[in-house]
Chain A
Amino acid sequence: MEPSIDFVVALIPIAPFLAAFLAPLLHRFVGPAAGWVLAIVPASIFISLLGFIEPIAHGESFTYALDWLPAMTYLSPGLQGVGIQFSFFIDGLSLTFGLLISGIGTIIVVYSGSYLAGHRQQGRFLAFILMFMGSMLGLVLADDLIVLFIFWELTSITSFLLIGFDHARQASRRAAIQALVITGGGGLVMLAGIALLHLLTFDPASGQALWKMTDFIGVADLIRQSDYYLPILLLFLAGAFTKSAQFPFHFWLPNAMEAPTPVSAFLHSATMVKAGIYLLARMSPIFANGYVTLDLPLFGSVDFYAWNIILTTFGGVTLLWGAVFALKQTDIKQMLAQTTIASLGLLVLLLGVGTELAVTAAVIYLVAHAFYKAALFLVAGLIDHGTGTREITELGGLRAKLPFTFAAAVLAAISMAGLPTALGFFAKEEMYAALIGPDWHQMAVLLVLFVGNALMMAVGLSVAITPFFGALKQTPHAPHEGAFAMWAGPVLLGVLAMMAGFYTYELGHYYVIPTASTIYNFQVDSHLSLIPHFNQWPVWISIATWIAGVALFMFLPKIRVGLQNMQRRMGWTFDDGFDASMFGLIKGASMITRLLHHGRLEIYLVVVFVGFALAVFVPQIVGGGLLTSIEMPVLTFYEWGVIVIALAGLVAVLAAGTRLVAIASLGIQGFAIAMIFMLFGAPDLSFTQFMVEILSVVILALVMTRLHLDRRDRRVPWEILRDGFLALVCGVGVTMLLLLVLQTPLDMRLTEFFAATSTPIAHGHNIVNVILVDYRGLDTLGEISVVMTAGVAILALIRMRGGGPKLGIGAKKSSRRRARKGASA
C-alpha cells in the first residue's frame, strides 16, 4: 500500500468540517441546491471508504498518527514518551460505521436540501449536519482514546446545535440542553475512566502507559484482572449508556425529536445514539468476560461476569421499556424514537451476551436497524411535509397520494419485521440462534428478545400501514408527495435492505466477518443463508414473532389507550425527574451565590483577611514552627531611614482626615518598600513597585471620586476594633512567616540554574526578564490574556448603566458619544 492511503484516513473526519465552513456561503449563492452540492462531500467519503473494503476483508488495517501532545503520558522519569497522538485507524468495525455515517449522511444532506427549502437558516443547518458528521466519523476512526473523547464530546455539542436548531421554541431548547447535559456529562464521566485505564496500562518494563485502543488489546488480560477493572468498566458504561439512551438515561432521546426530521433520521439511526454501541463494541475485546468478586455487606462474597451481567440486564430492561412505550405513542416520530431506544437496548443486550453468534447478530442488526430506522424517520418527515401532521390517528388512505413514501415505508417495515429477504431477517435469525440453549438465563433473555421484537414489529406495521390504508382522512393541508430528493433516499435504503438476501456470501465475506471479528477479537464464521432451516428452532421462533407482531398490531389502538391510562396514573416520569434535578441545581446555585455574593464590600474584605490570617497562622501553629526568638538585624543608618519613612507613612494613614489623604499616604509605605528592594539588590522589583504604587494611588483615587463615598471614613467603634485587630493579626502573621522563612537555609538551586543558563541558552543577562519572557513564557502569555480580559470586564463594569442610580455611576450620554467620536477620529 502506498503511504498516501493512510493520510486519507485522517482526511475523512476533517473534510466535513471544511465543508461546514462553506455551507452557509454556498447556500447564499445556490439556494436549496446547496443540499445536492454539499452531498458531494459525504458521497466522496463514502466512495473512498468503499475502497477499504477489499483490503480489510483480507485482514489489513490502516493507521495514521500525528504527534500531538507528546508530554501527555504517564512515563518513567527520563524516558521520551509517545504521548497523545492525533491518530486514526480503520478496521472492520470502524469501516462499517464509517460507511453507515457517510452513506446515510449523503442521503440526509440531499433530503435536508429539499425538506428545509426556503428556510432562512438552511445554510446554518447544513453546516451543523456536516460538523456533526465529521465529529461522528472522527469518533469511529479515532485510535487514541483522548481523540475519541474529543470527538465524542463534539458529537454532543453538535447534536445540541441540531436538536436546538429551532431555537425560538422553548421545547426544543429544553430538549437540546437535556441531550447535552446527559450525553456530554456521560462523556465527562468516561474521561475519568479513560484516565484510569491509561494509568493502569503503565508497564514498568517499558516505562510507558498506553492511550491507543489498538494497543489495549495486548494488555486486555492485565486490565480484566486488575482491581480497577470494575470502576473503569462502570465509568466507560456511564459514557456509553448515556449516549446510547440506555435505561435510566433513555428519556433524552424521545425529547430530541424536537429536532427537524432529517436530524432525527441521522442522529437516531446510524450515528449519535450508535456511538455508545460503537464504544461498547470497540471495548468488547478488552472488557468482555471480566470476572469480578465483590464483598457486599449483606450478601457476602459475590462473583460474576461484570460486563455480561450489566449489559444484558440494562439492555434487556431498555428493550422492553422502549418497546412498550412505543405502543403508547400516537406521533409517528415518537413511536420511532421509542423503538430506537428498544433497538439500542437490544444491541447492548447482544453485546453483553458476547458469544460468537450474538456478536454476529449484533453486527447485522446494527446495519439493518440503521437502514430501516433512517428510512422510517425520513418517511415520517415526508408524511409531515406532505400532510402537515404526524399524528397516526389523523392519518389514513395516503397510499395513492404519496406512492413513493408508501413504498419506502413498506420496504422499511419488512426489514423491521424481519421478513425474508431483508437484512432484518438475518439479524433476527442470528440472535435467536445465539440464545437457544438449555440454561434458564438463556431462555429468559430469549423471551425478552421475543417480546421486544414482537412489540417493535407491531409498531413498524403501524407506521407502514395505518397512514396509508383505510379511508382518506382530512389533514391540515391537502396531501402531496415530496420532491425526488426527499423520497429517493428512503426508497433506496429500503431496496438495499431487501437485496441483502441475494448477496449473502458477499455480505458475510466483506462486512459481517471483518466487523464481528474485530468485536469478538477472534475470526468468526459467517453462515448467512436465505434458505430457512425448518429443522431448527430459530425459524420457528421467527414465525412466532411475526404472528405475535401482527396480533399486537391488530389490537394496537386498544393497547395504546390502556397504556396511556396507566401512564396517567403513574404521574411521574424520568423527564420530570430530570427537570426537578435541573431546577434544584439552579436553586442551589443561586442560594450559594446569595450566601457568598451578598454585595457588602466590607464583609468581603473581612472574609478575605480572616482567611488570609488563618492561612498564615494555621500552618505555623500546626507545623509547630512558631517563631521563638527574634534576632535584631544590624542595619546601616540609611536602612533605618527607610524604615522610619515607612512608619511615618503608617502614622499618616492612621491620622488621615479624609479617605483620599489616606490613600495617598498609603503610597508612602509603597515607596519605602520599593526603596528596600533597591537597597537589597532587586532593581527590577523596585522599579515595578514604584510604578504600581503610583498607578494604584491614581486609580484608587479615581475610583473613590466616582463612587461618591463620604469624604471621611465613618465607622462605629467596634468596627474600628474589628478591622484594626484583623490588620494587626495579618501583619504580625506575615512578619513571623517571613522571619521564619529567613531562618531556614536558602535553597540556591534555582538561582544557580538560572544564573548558569540564562546567558548561554536564553541570550539575556537580566534573569528576571528572561524568566518572564522565555523560561515561563507560556505562563506569561496566560497572564497577559487574563490582564486584558480583566481590563475588558472592568471597562464593561464602568460603562454599565444599569447600576447607575444606585451608585451614581455613568456619564452623560453626550459626553460619551463625543469621546467615542474623538477616539475614532
Chain B
Amino acid sequence: MNTIIFKTVLPVLAAMMLVFSVFVLLRGHNEPGGGFIGGLIAASALAMYGIALGVEEARKALVVDPISIAGVGVLLAGVAGLLSLGYQVPFLTGIWHSFSFAGAEVTISTPMVFDIGVYLVVMGTIAAIALALEEDEAGQ
C-alpha cells in the first residue's frame, strides 16, 4: 500500500470524499443520501487515509478519537429529540424553522440535527474500528 501515487493522491482524495460526504448528508432529506451513507463515505475516506499515510497521521489529522465522535453523534441525536420537549410535543417530534440568509431561504430542523448525529456515529464507529485494526497491523 505504500505506493507513491497512493500516498500523494490520497490526502486530496480524502478531502474530496469528506466534502462529498457532507454534501450527501445534507441533501439526504430530499435527494438520495443521508446521514448513514454520508457517514460511510467519510469513514472510508478516513480508513483509506490511515492505510496510505499511517494511523498516526490519521489520528493527528482527526484531532479527537473517532469513537468520541461516535459518542457525540449519539448525544447529538438524543438532544435533537429532546428539543421537541421545549415545544410541548412528544420526544423526537420534528421542529422546523426557516429564515433567510444572504438572500437565500435556509431551513434548519431537528431531523437534520438528528441526521448529523447518525452521520457522526457511523463515521466515528467505523473509522475507529478500521484505524484500530490498521494500527495493530502496522505495529507488527
Contact = CB atoms under 8 A, between A and B. Distances in A.
B139 A811 contact: yes
A765 B30 contact: yes
A694 B44 contact: yes
Contact of A811 (B91, B118, B124, B136): B136
A717 B91 CA distance: 57
Contacts of B107: 763
Given A695-B43, A781-B77, A819-B56, A774 B128 contact: no
Main secondary structure of the interface of B (DSSP, over half): helix
A739 interface: no
A769 B67 contact: no
B52 interface: no
Contacts of A683: 32
A706 B133 contact: yes
A781 B40 contact: no
B109 interface: yes
Contact of B47 (A688, A695, A766): A695
Contacts of A628: none
Nearest to A813: B139
B138 interface: yes
Interface stretch (A98-106, A164-172, A506-514, A791-799): A791-799
Contact of B70 (A695, A699, A770, A791): A791
Contacts of B118: 772-773, 780, 784
A702 B44 CA distance: 13
Interface string B10-52: 0000000000000010001111111111001101100110010
Contact of B121 (A765, A784, A794, A819): A784
Contacts of B111: 762, 764, 770, 773-774, 777
B70 A781 contact: no
Contacts of B109: 763
A7 B137 CA distance: 62
A808 B137 CA distance: 11
Given A777-B81, A818-B56, A819-B55, A799 B33 contact: no
B138 A787 contact: no
A684 B37 CA distance: 8
B73 A765 contact: no
Most buried by B among A688, A780, A784, A795: A784
A795 B74 contact: no
B70 A787 contact: yes
Interface in A734-783: 762-766, 768-770, 772-774, 777-778, 780-781
A648 B78 CA distance: 45
Nearest to A780: B118
Contact of B130 (A699, A770, A773, A808): A699
A702 B130 contact: yes
A766 B136 contact: no
A763 B37 contact: no
Contact of B128 (A688, A791, A822, A825): A791
A720 interface: no
Nearest to B77: A781
B87 interface: no
Interface in A691-709: 691-692, 694-695, 698-699, 702-703, 705-706
A778 B135 contact: no
Contact of B92 (A769, A777, A822): A777
B140 interface: yes
Nearest to B94: A774
A420 interface: no
Contact of B37 (A687, A818, A822): A687
B85 interface: no
Contact of B138 (A687, A691, A695, A815): A815
A29 B75 CA distance: 34
Contacts of B65: 823
Given A705-B137, A792-B67, A769 B28 contact: yes
A695 B31 contact: no
A703 B130 CA distance: 9
A788 B34 contact: no
Interface string B53-64: 001110110101
A787 B44 contact: no
B44 A825 contact: no
A822 B77 contact: no
Nearest to A824: B65
Nearest to A683: B32
Nearest to A815: B139
B56 A822 contact: yes
B138 A698 contact: no
B32 to A, nearest CB: 4
Contact of B140 (A684, A698, A811): A811
A762 B124 CA distance: 27
Nearest to B130: A699
A456 to B, nearest CB: 53
Contacts of A705: 137
A769 B29 contact: yes
A464 to B, nearest CB: 57
Given A691-B44, A702-B133, A788 B29 contact: no
Interface string A48-75: 0000000000000000000000000000
A809 interface: yes
Nearest to A810: B136
Interface string B112-132: 101101100110111011101
B77 A695 contact: no
A161 B50 CA distance: 47
A799 B81 contact: no
A508 B91 CA distance: 49
A286 B32 CA distance: 59
A251 B50 CA distance: 60
A688 B109 CA distance: 24
B69 to A, nearest CB: 10
Given A790-B125, A795-B132, A810-B136, A691 B37 contact: yes
Given A765-B30, A773-B34, A823-B59, A784 B77 contact: yes
A441 interface: no
B35 to A, nearest CB: 7
Contact of B33 (A766, A798, A815): A766
A631 B73 CA distance: 47
A816 interface: yes
Contacts of B99: none
A773 B35 contact: yes
B34 A772 contact: yes
B31 A691 contact: no
A116 B44 CA distance: 58
A823 B29 CA distance: 34
B118 to A, nearest CB: 6
* Among all A-B residue pairs, the 9 with the closest Cβ atoms: A811-B139, A791-B125, A691-B40, A702-B133, A683-B32, A769-B34, A764-B29, A784-B121, A765-B30
8 contacts: A695-B43, A695-B47, A702-B134, A773-B111, A784-B74, A784-B122, A788-B67, A819-B55
Interface of B: 24, 28-37, 40-41, 43-44, 47-48, 51, 55-57, 59-60, 62, 64-65, 67, 70-71, 73-74, 77-78, 81, 91-92, 94, 96, 107, 109, 111-112, 114-115, 117-118, 121-122, 124-126, 128-130, 132-140
Given A688-B37, A773-B35, A781-B81, 11 more contacts: A684-B33, A688-B36, A698-B51, A702-B130, A766-B29, A773-B29, A780-B114, A785-B74, A798-B132, A812-B139, A819-B55
